[in-house]
Amino acid sequence: MPQNTREIKRRIRSVQNTSQITKAMEMVAAAKLRRVQDAVQQSKPYLAKLQDMLANVSASARHVKHPLLASRPVKRTGYLVITADRGLAGPYNAQVVRAAMQEFGKKDKSAFTIFAVGKRGRDFFKHRDYPIGAEVIDLDDSPTYSSIRNLAEEMVQSYEREEFDELYFIYNEFINAVSQRAVVKKVLPLDSLTDEQTGPRHQYEFEPDEDAVMAALLPRYAETLVYQAVLDAKASEHAARMTAMGNATENAKDIIADYTLSLNRARQAAITTQIAEIVGGANALS
């Protein structure tokens, strides 16, 4: 701990400036989190209704076949890995990367492909020569459906072309403002739609036919799942950054308190030295 009072004052000012920045970043992250939470809540009714309708349609039209519903032997796997474009969010990015590496395990790199959202994950996997099929970076803090639509369509079409045989999402699931959990969630094939139907089923008449209706609805549903996951991940990112900056602000207060104590001790030591010199001088004169 420095004992020079000028150096201690300089360090106190430096930490105070940093504390002001982290406090401002905490407040900005909190405001962004509220906006994304609103977007999540607004998208949930649409997703739930679409899921309910598909469950009813697939139950009513058992003979309908679609590539997104078909399970096939797994030769290659697709992974949508969602991270942030920047850091200062605590363990947010590390959690996703760790979960992805555990999922990849000892798989050969030719056995899977990665669809990356966010610079942190993209850069991590690119520098290690992992196969990246497509990427989206520099997303807005409140993503819109149009910002990820091309990626979602690319993944769905790649699955339909049998370029891979299953699709997993790896991202931080938003639980609450202080808790986010890295999850690995299987999305394709959509072979559990009928299992998710819990309420009464409706009878539908199809125009022009069942295949045309399912061909239109299923890709849109899969793309909506991608958008929902991106929103969830963004909410987790803002919450993680808010928590990290809040902790940084509190740590700055502790450091300032320690430096202030050191400053007071240094001042006291200087005063004591001056008094001793005065007393010594007085004694010498007498």
Among 139, 224, 221, 233, smallest CA distance to 180 is for 233
Q: Cα–Cα distances in Å, from 273 out to 76, 159, 266, 280?
A: 76, 79, 10, 10
Length of the chain measured in residues: 286
The pLDDT of residue 245 is 92
| Per-residue pLDDT band at 2 (split at 50, 70, 90) | very low
Among 278, 154, 282, 274, smallest CA distance to 226 is for 154
Q: Does residue 141 surpass a pLDDT of 90?
A: no
Give dist(CA 169, CA 161) in Å, integer. 19
Give dist(CA 53, CA 35) in Å, integer. 28
The pLDDT of residue 1 is 41
Do 5-26+244-278 and 32-240 fold alike per CATH?
A: no
**Can the peptide bond before residue 200 be classed as cis, meaning omega within 30 degrees of 0?**
no
More confident residue, 180 or 283: 180
Domain ranges of the chain: 5-26+244-278, 32-240
| Per-residue pLDDT band at 203 (split at 50, 70, 90) | low
Long-range contacts of 12-16 (CB under 8 A, 24+ apart): 12/256, 12/259, 12/260, 12/263, 15/252, 15/255, 15/256, 15/259, 16/252, 16/256
pTM recorded for the entire structure: 0.82
Give dist(CA 237, CA 120) in Å, integer. 12
Q: Which of 44-53, 81-90, 226-235, 240-249 has the lowest mean pLDDT?
A: 44-53
User: Which pair of structure tokens corresponds to residue 142?
Assistant: 């409140």
Q: Does residue 232 surpass a pLDDT of 80?
A: yes
CATH class name, domain 32-240: alpha beta
CATH 1.10.10.10 fits 5-26+244-278, yes or no: no
The mean per-residue pLDDT over the stretch 265-274 comes to 76
Burial class of residue 14 in the structure, from the number of CB atoms within 10 Å of its CB (0-12 exposed, 13-18 middle, 19+ buried)? middle
| Per-residue pLDDT band at 168 (split at 50, 70, 90) | very high
Which residue matches tokens 């990820």?
148
The pLDDT of residue 89 is 87
| Per-residue pLDDT band at 224 (split at 50, 70, 90) | confident
Please write the tens of the pLDDT for every residue from 113-131. 999 999 999 999 999 889 9
